[in-house]
């Protein structure tokens, strides 16, 4: 290895190490009241993550970018339609097939909910059926129409247990963005997919997901917390 090649190798290792690190939090503020609460994280790269949680209720969140404007922080949320699922790799295999699901940081996503439903059932019927169940119970579970299947800890979804005559839908993505992505299972057998969702993996530890609007796009920082305020004149 010559000097130029060695320098390029060191540069590559440096960038790999930087990309592997999590973005530092500039400020984290939490509000809790009994079994409920909210959290706002402002990251040093100019992004934010806001979440609301309450025992037995939906997990609600919002994310986007932020900037300081005089004494206030302006939050610029992403629209829910910007959250998508894209195929990075697709290849034929000798096994039944599999889907590897990665998050925005290329980390495996565990607990991502897909649902299987019969081929003679429309997507609209399957979605309405699962929505009713989730709204009533707060979790994705077996219904008369749909059978849930979620990714393992390593981010993989195996095809061997699936009914070839069924369809497969990415239900968790639908809950967040409203986008409906459906596969005919017989068409994806004997295929290995690598798929990315442009969201952090940690979100999918919850079953009942909800992307929300903020009370206001402006916050006033306090000594150890914050409050939403009206848009300045």
Cα dist. 150→49, 68, 79, 166, 204 in Å? Answer: 25, 40, 26, 16, 10
pLDDT score at 228: 94
Backbone angles phi, psi at 138, to 5 degrees: 80, 10
The structure tokens 């994806």 sit at 188
Band of the pLDDT at 15, cuts 50, 70, 90?
A: very low
Structure token digits, residue 115: 């649902």
pLDDT confidence of 155, banded at 50, 70, 90? Answer: very high
Q: For residue 80, is pLDDT > 90?
A: yes
Which of the two residues, 136 and 79, has the higher pLDDT score? Answer: 79
- Burial label for 178, CB within 10 Å (0-12, 13-18, 19+), is exposed
**Is the pLDDT at 161 greater than 80, yes or no?**
no
Write out pLDDT tens, residues 82-123. 999 999 999 999 888 899 999 999 999 999 999 999 999 998
Phi, psi dihedral angles at 226 (to 5 degrees): -155, 165
14 — pLDDT class (breaks 50, 70, 90): very low
Q: What is the pTM of this model?
A: 0.81
Pairing of strands 59-69, 209-211: parallel
| Alpha carbons within 13 A on the beta-carbon side of 184 | 6
Please name the residue that has the structure tokens 């290329």. 106
Q: What are phi and psi of 3, to 5 degrees?
A: -60, -40
Please give the Cα distance from 216 to 198 (Å, whole number): 24
Q: pLDDT per residue over 181-216, tens digit each?
A: 998 998 888 999 999 999 999 999 887 899 999 999
Within a 13 Å sphere around the CA of 23, how many CA atoms are in the beta-carbon half?
Answer: 15
**Per-chain mean pLDDT for the chain:** 85
User: Which domains does the chain carry?
Assistant: 3-80+211-229 (no CATH), 84-198 (2.60.40)
Number of alpha helices (DSSP H) and beta strands (DSSP E) in the chain: 4, 16
Given a cut of 90, whether residue 34 has pLDDT beyond it is no
Instruction: Give the per-residue pLDDT at 57.
Output: 65
């Amino acid at each position: 290895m010559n000097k130029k090649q060695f320098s390029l190798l060191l540069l590559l290792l440096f960038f790999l190490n930087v990309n592997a690190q999590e973005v530092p939090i500039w400020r984290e503020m939490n509000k809790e009241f009994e079994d409920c609460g909210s959290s706002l994280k402002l990251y040093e790269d100019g992004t934010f993550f806001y979440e609301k949680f309450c025992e037995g209720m939906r997990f609600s969140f919002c994310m986007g970018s932020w900037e300081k404007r005089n004494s206030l922080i302006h939050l610029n949320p992403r629209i829910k339609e910007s959250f998508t699922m894209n195929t990075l790799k697709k290849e034929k295999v000798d096994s039944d097939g599999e889907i590897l699901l990665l998050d925005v940081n290329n980390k495996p996503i565990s607990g991502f909910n897909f649902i299987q439903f019969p081929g003679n059932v429309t997507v609209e019927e399957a979605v309405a059926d699962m929505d009713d169940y989730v709204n009533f119970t707060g979790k994705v579970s077996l219904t008369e129409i749909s059978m849930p299947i979620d990714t393992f800890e390593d981010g993989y979804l195996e095809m061997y247990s699936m009914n070839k005559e069924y369809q497969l839908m990415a239900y968790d993505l639908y809950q967040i963005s409203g986008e409906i992505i459906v596969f005919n299972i017989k068409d994806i057998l004997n295929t290995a997919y690598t798929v990315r969702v442009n969201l952090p993996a940690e979100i999918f530890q919850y079953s009942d997901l909800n992307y929300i609007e903020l009370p206001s796009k402006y916050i006033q920082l306090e000594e150890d917390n914050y409050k939403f305020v009206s848009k300045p004149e």
